[in-house]
A and B are shown apart, each in its own frame.
Chain A
Amino acid sequence: MTSSPLIRALDRSAVTFILVLVAIGVLVPLLNLLLPSSSFWHVPTYLVALWGKYVCYAILALSIDLIWGYCGILSLGHGAFFALGGYAMGMYLMRQIGTRGVYADPIRPDFMVFLNWPELPVYWYGFQHFAYAALMVLLVPGVLAFVFGWFAFRSRVTGVYLSIITQALTYALMLGFFRNNFGFGGNNGLTDFKDILGFNVQAQPTRAALFAISVAVLILGFLICRTIVSSKLGMVLVSIRDAESRTRFLGYRVENYKLFVFTLSACMAGVAGALYVPQVGIINPSEFAPGNSIEAVIWVAVGGRGTLIGAVLGAAVVNYGKTTFTSGVLAPYWLFVLGSLFVLVTLLLPRGIVGTVRHYWAVWHERRDAANARAAEAAPKPAE
């Protein structure tokens, strides 16, 4: 009881999970870099990039699980925070191109030269510094989430209403970013990146390093979420999820708690987006599409909401399925699979994979304990 929240956060399953992640984060880059490509254990670079993408999705799923699984806020616009973080990183990468662009302009990215922009817009200033871009990765989604959440939670917009307006938010941003005069490259988005912090984005070691960093960030995010949900703050969040009015009547400022996790979750999503962009090599407005955000929610639902581990697992499983399906002859049927996943998981597997396993694990334990207790009760009698 007296232990710090971090110690409490690290129960047995959390520790196991972190160890698995560490193993993946270390082994995959090493197997990619050290082994010759002929080796059976060699991990090809394209897989490193693909799995790196999954890890970024997992961070996004984690951020959604934190607010949906523990606080009951179903955001259908988390893709917007993801994409905003991605754009912040993309702007840094664009500025790094320098004179290597098609038009070789030292300051302006290619699309601005192409569109005859006389000079760099003010909001592009500073993005040539990595530190500034990294700050923006946190700040832009964070501030947007804070302002949005401040309005929404203070006036007690909850449930499906909140879902709908978050969806409208990402939809509005998508429409905006599709426009050329917004200054973010219109529907082509930002692409053709050259290097990040002086390293070539395409190079094998950079990709391996990005993968390792993404896994590290995932572990960090998991630790933060675990710490929050196993602290007293987490208890309040769960009580808000289960009985918002009652929590309010008990004297908790519900809106402040919600605002805190919502903003934190948006920052996490932003970081996920920022790690995603250099590994994928492009960011464009379709990342804002409402469908993407809903898809991210289904990862969490598949894995099991309110479990954190499930969110990570769900993101990996669903995206692995997506890659397998959409790269083969089955491509036209992927939407059937995804659609059925939405329906079947909500109908038959409301706890998700991890939640269901945990549930039956607990049932089995209970039965065993009960049986042991009965046995213990029954055993002494003959001895009497």
Chain B
Amino acid sequence: MLSCERIIALVFALGLLIAGALGASAQNYEAALAGFTKDSFNDTDSAIGAVAASGNPLALDVIQALQDGRLLFSGDKVFIKDKAGATLDAATGKPAAAPPDAANVRLNNRLRRSVEAALGGLTLMSNDPARRYEAAQAVFKSRDANALATLDAALAKETDGRVKRALSEARAAVILYQASASENDKIAAIGTIKERADQDARGLLAGLPTGQGATVQKAAADAITSIDNRLALWNMVQNAWYGLSLGSVLLLAAIGLAITFGVMGVINMAHGEMVMLGAYVTFMVQEIIRARNPALFDASLFIAVPLAFLFAGSVGILIERTVIRFLYGRPLETLLATWGISLILQQAVRTIFGPTNKEVGNPSWMSGAFEFGGITITYNRMWIIVFTLAVFAALLGLLRFTRLGLEMRAVTQNRAMAASMGIRTARIDALTFGLGSGIAGIAGVALSQIDNVSPNLGQGYIIDSFLVVVFGGVGNLWGTLVAALTLGVANKFLEPFAGAVLGKIAILVFIILFIQKRPRGLFALKGRAVEA
């Protein structure tokens, strides 16, 4: 029993101690708060530092409110107005009505920097790694020397690798700009900042005040050169990525054309409209899903792909059966007739859906982006590249391993011979045209994710697709692949120098000249049959 009492007494004593400590902290905090009531910038500045240093759980709220202009004072009381407009007593955190004469604590630019630094310091210890990371980035930019102690403390207990790197970069930035730091420390700091290798790091090093030691200056200059090289490299990677992305779009649009042109020698001017139809199928699918079962939205593209293939493919077969088959052997007339069809399709869609752009949403797995090294990769572009390659591989497999593919290749190489071997060339023509159109429809599903879905969607791609096919050579899918990627990458690499439009013109001129040199494209079929 006695021991029991003792324990209770001990607990009591401990409790008193803790309460005393808390009381002391609360006193510090309240004393610091009083600085805000003086309505003088200098007092406010010291109050910011003191509140941040007090370690009181309300400190973060107070500083945040100060930054947002929600900190009021009246007499010797300080109030926080929360986002809903209710006021709290800053000292206790309890709701309290502010007197009508309460005025905002004013800030100037110098104080705003202090506020940011204080916030950075306070959030450096936050429990949320994302907030710690942001705080470290804020310190990296503000280079606030006061945060150094907090940084060291935060670094010591940091476990998250990414945050830890950000913290040490922030620490390096502070040290680099500290006049009192030793040369060795500064050189080590430069090394850390060099690793970061982005525009901010470059700006930090370039803005280094003069009067540094020779070794520090040299190290900084070297680091800048190294960062510049790294940035240039990433820039290249970025351009290559954009080019790849553009190339995949071109490939997707052109691949169906390559098939119809390759097998049948038919220039299908309505190909772009097949792409457009595919995009509208996606729109319809999404509309129905929105109306009936919104939970399926993420799967909308998977539903749209086969539907778009079937729809565009059947429209293609219809066109082939009703118009194109009467025009074989007259490629120029086919060109005109299919142009007419493209006008009709465009106008039909315009009449049904209206001339404005239709809203086609990105499923959640296609929106957003992620960082890869020095570049940002958006998910929709990435998935389109993957999708294009999948379609390409599927088509290649179809041509190589199926009966239909075999017959298609036979007809491409020598129509008369294929016919005499018993292949029904007319049927192959219809199926080929359907296949090419169906793939255009699939392309439309993908393009609906990155482009405006309007009746003119196809027009934007048709000339580019032709150039890809002509450049790559007829009857060879690999040629189309190489041509599309080459044109895409070349386009994006020209853009920084020449601008988007001049870059495009340069590509057009290049292709016109290239056709002179190799009139049958990069990968021309060889043999007598194609010369006919």
Interface residues of A (CB under 8 A from B): 74, 76, 148, 151-152, 154-157, 159-161, 163-165, 167-169, 171-172, 175-176, 178-179, 290, 294, 297-298, 301, 332-333, 335-336, 338-343, 345-347, 350
Interchain nearest-CB distance for A318 vs B (Å):
12
Contact of A160 among B267, B348, B508, B513 (CB under 8 A): B267
Segment with Cβ contacts to A, from B356-364, B384-392, B463-471: B463-471
Contact A163 to B267, CB < 8 A, known contacts A168-B512, A346-B336, A347-B323: yes
Report A-chain residues with C-beta under 8 Å of the C-beta of B519: 155-157, 161
Does residue B103 face the partner (Cβ distance < 8 Å to A)?
A: no
Q: Report whether B336 and A155 are in contact in the complex, using a CB–CB cutoff of 8 Å.
A: no
Q: Quick check: A165 and B515 within 8 Å, CB to CB?
A: yes
Judging by beta carbons under 8 Å apart, are B463 and A176 in contact? no
> B335 contacts A161, CB within 8 Å?
no
Does A163 lie within 8 Å of B332, measured CB to CB? yes
Residues of A within 8 A of B505 (CB): 172, 175-176
Q: Is the CB of B343 within 8 A of A338?
A: yes
Complex Cα distance, B323 from A9, in Å, reads 37
**A76, A290, A343, A350: residue with the most chain B Cβ atoms closer than 10 Å:** A343
Closest CB in chain B relative to A343 CB, distance in Å? 4
Contact A176 B501 (CB under 8 A): yes
A78 to chain B, nearest CB (A): 14
Q: Is B516 in the interface zone, CB < 8 Å from A? A: yes
Contact B340 A168 (CB under 8 A): no
Smallest Cβ distance from A287 to chain B, in angstroms?
17
Interface centre among A148, A332, A336 (most CB of B within 10 A): A336
B125 at the interface (CB under 8 A from A): no
- Using Cβ atoms and an 8 Å threshold, which residues of chain A touch B331? 159-160
Contact of A340 among B265, B267, B340, B517 (CB under 8 A): B340
Q: Smallest Cβ distance from A297 to chain B, in angstroms?
A: 6
CB distance from A337 to the nearest CB of B (A): 9
B170-208, CB under 8 A of A: which get 1 and which 0?
Answer: 000000000000000000000000000000000000000
CB-contacts of B452-479 with A (<8 A):
463, 466-467, 470
Q: Flag if A172 contacts B513 (CB, 8 Å).
A: no
Chain A residues contacting B267 (CB-CB under 8 Å) are 160, 163-164
Q: How far is the CA of A342 from the CA of B333 in the complex (A)?
A: 9
Contact across chains for A74 and B337 when beta carbons are under 8 A apart = no
Q: Which residue, A76, A165, A298, A332, has most C-beta atoms of chain B within 10 A?
A: A165
Contacts of A161 in B (CB 8 A): 470, 515, 519
- Residues on A with beta carbons closer than 8 Å to the beta carbon of B513: 151
User: With A164-B467, A175-B505, A347-B327 in contact, do A169 and B343 touch (Cβ < 8 Å)?
Assistant: no
Cα A160 to Cα B268 with chains together (Å) = 11
Q: Report which of B323, B339, B470, B516 forms a contact with A294, defined as CB distance below 8 A.
A: B339
The answer to whether B401 has its CB under 8 Å from any CB of chain A is no
With A335-B344, A347-B327 as given contacts, are A179 and B501 in contact (CB-CB < 8 Å)? yes
What residue in chain A is nearest B345 (Cβ atoms)? A339
Quote the shortest CB–CB distance from B457 to chain A (angstroms): 15
B372 at interface (Cβ–Cβ under 8 A)?
A: no
Min distance, Cβ A291 to any Cβ of chain B, angstroms: 8
Contact between B470 and A339, CB atoms less than 8 A apart: no
Contacts of B334 in A (CB 8 A): 346
Query: Is A301 touching B515 in the complex (CB atoms < 8 A)?
Result: no
- Are A342 and B470 interface neighbours, CB within 8 A? no
Q: Is the CB of B517 within 8 A of A342?
A: no
User: How far is the CB of A300 from the nearest CB of chain B, in Å?
Assistant: 10
Q: A165-B515, A298-B336, A343-B323 are in contact. Are A335 and B470 (CB under 8 A)?
A: no
- Greatest chain A CB density within 10 A among B265, B334, B501, B509 is at B501
B343 contacts A168, C-beta separation under 8 Å: no
- Closest Cβ–Cβ distance, residue A69 to chain B (whole Å): 11
Task: From known contacts A155-B519, A159-B332, infer whether A167 and B339 are also in contact, taking CB-CB under 8 Å.
Answer: no
| CB-based nearest B residue for A179 | B501
Within the complex, the shortest CB–CB distance from A67 to chain B, in Å, comes to: 12
B339–A335 contact, CB under 8 A?
A: no
Task: Name the A residues within 8 Å of B509 (CB-CB).
Answer: 172
- Chain B residues, CB < 8 A from A156: 519
Check if B332 sits within 8 Å of A347, measured CB to CB: no
The contact string, 1 if C-beta is below 8 Å from chain A, for chain B 249-265, is 00000000000000001
Q: Is the CB of B467 within 8 A of A342?
A: no
Mark B263-298 against chain A: 1 for CB-CB distance below 8 A, else 0. 001010000000000000000000000000000000
A-B contact pairs, 18 of them (CB 8 A): A151-B513, A159-B331, A160-B267, A161-B515, A163-B267, A176-B501, A179-B501, A336-B343, A336-B347, A336-B348, A339-B343, A340-B340, A341-B340, A342-B339, A342-B341, A343-B341, A346-B333, A347-B326
Return the CB mask of B309-343 against A: 1 if under 8 Å, else 0. 00000000000000100110011111111011111
Q: Would you call B463 and A171 a contact (CB within 8 A)?
A: yes
